[in-house]
Amino acid sequence: MSEKTTFWLDGAEIPFTAGQTLLEAARRAGHYIPHLCWHPDYKPHGSCKLCTVKVDGRFVSACTTLAQAGAHVENRTAELDDMRRTLLQLLFVEGNHFCPSCEKSGQCLLQATAYELGMMSPHFDHFFPNRPVDASHPEVMLDFNRCILCSLCEQAAKRDGKFTFVMGGRGMRGRRVILNSESGRLADTDFSSTDHAAHVCPVGVILKKRVGFAVPYGQRRYDQAPVSLLDVAEAIK
Amino acid sequence: MNAPAKLRIATASLAGCFGCHMSFLDIDERLLELIDLVEFDRTPLTDIKTCHPCDLGLIEGGVCNAENVHVLRTFRQNCKTLVAIGACAVNGGLPAQRNHLDLRDILETIYETEGGLARGTHIPNDPELPLPLNRVHPIHEIVKVDYFLPGCPPSADAIWKFLTDLIAGRTPTLGHGLLRYD
């Protein structure tokens, strides 16, 4: 049995087992650390930086940093939440996030995290980029206006032994998800609506057709409770 | 003792649908409480057409044409505190979904090439019509905005909480259920 030790998170003592990350141990102990690109079923890659915490004064990603005995970790401080809000605002202006017309509204991790952090405005000037919508597949559509480049679809496809979604391109406007078919369309890939990738998107890019408003606004996942409660409830159930 | 002076409020809808104004009216009988505390300057509710010096300006809608820019700047000059109300004022909203399209292409399609138009129909060119901008802008891209109240529209409860906080001199806080973007 691995040795149990503890670290300190915003003054609370958090137990962990060797090899656990700060994010995993905190969630397991009922403490929410904001995150977007992290998913419990996939290897963390620390790219969205929402889970940034301060360990003994140094900024680290909580999803990729192993817990260490006796460490003092700052999480929901005004300083860190301010920075997280700025990261969210940058994501909102970089894509086209029009919540009132989005099927994912109320079940979207980006939106729920912005609610949690009290984001009242996008603050920056919008890019309003021109991004494609792909409705070629009979069961699933893709709306890249909302993509936050978390790469979870790429990882989820690999879990099924597929390379349907691949992160490609360079730079702020070039980086994107590329579909692995000659036409570049979803219908021409080996994608199936039963793939793990069909259900992993934290925002409203990968959407099952014809069920968009089966559950009305107001009765959706994050309408019931804030993400901070649901996230840790999921970890300890 | 004299009653404290009432706050003056002005409101306007720019590139919006008046949905936020309708949601504001949805505060229902609380309007009676509100008019004990405030009086209205320029707003569709009073039909006053020019904005005078005010304590609070509420702007619904984004900025899609030259007249919107003018009205917004007038509000900023006259209002001590300016608030963006609703998705369109906050991020451009539905009208901004034209932003990745070319304006001339849009106008030609709607007024000249779309099916069902009368023969010889052209893009309207009356000098009274304000010229559209190439892109629809959230209002914070044009003037300084003091507070933002998102939602499409923000619910009456959210508007009430926001206004009562502001009038009482508190920083408005909405919390779960009242802060929504949809």
pLDDT one-digit tens code per residue, B120-158: 899 999 999 999 999 999 999 999 999 999 999 999 999
Contact flag A99-B140 (C-beta cutoff 8 Å): no
A159, two tokens: 């879990």
pLDDT of amino acid A1: 47
How confident is the model over A204-227, as a mean pLDDT? 96
Cα-based torsion angle of the residue sequence A119, A124, A127, A133 in order, rounded to the nearest 10 degrees = 0
| pLDDT value at A173 more than 90 | no
CATH number at residue A23: 3.10.20.740
Check the CA dihedral A135-A141-A143-A149 and report its sign: negative
DSSP B15: B
Distance from CA of A43 to the nearest CA of B (A): 31
Q: Where are the domains of chain B?
A: 7-96+132-167
- Compare all CA atoms of chain A with the CA of B98 and give the residue at the minimum distance: A128
Domain end marker among A42, A76, A110: A76
Buried b (16+ CB within 10 A) or exposed e, A130-144: ebeebebbeebbbbb
CATH number at residue A131: 3.30.70.20
- Domain range for A166 is 96-225
Q: What is the pLDDT of residues B169-179, one digit of tens each?
A: 999 999 999 99
How confident is the model over B38-46, as a mean pLDDT? 95
Average pLDDT value for chain A: 96
A vs B, Cβ pairs < 8 A, gives: 73
Share of chain A above pLDDT 90, in %: 95
pLDDT of amino acid A174: 86
CATH architecture of the region B7-96+132-167? 3-Layer(aba) Sandwich (3.40)
| pLDDT value at A2 more than 70 | no
Q: Which residues of B touch A101 (CB under 8 A)?
A: 94, 97
Is A234 within the bounds of a domain?
no
Contact flag B150-A101 (C-beta cutoff 8 Å): no
Q: Which residues of B touch A125 (CB under 8 A)?
A: 141
How confident is the model over A211-227, as a mean pLDDT? 96
Query: Which of B99, B161, B180 is the mutation pick for testing A, counting most A CBs within 10 A?
Result: B180
How confident is the model over A92-121, as a mean pLDDT? 97
Considering the domain architecture, whether residues A102 and A200 belong to the same structural domain is answered as yes
Contact flag B181-A99 (C-beta cutoff 8 Å): yes
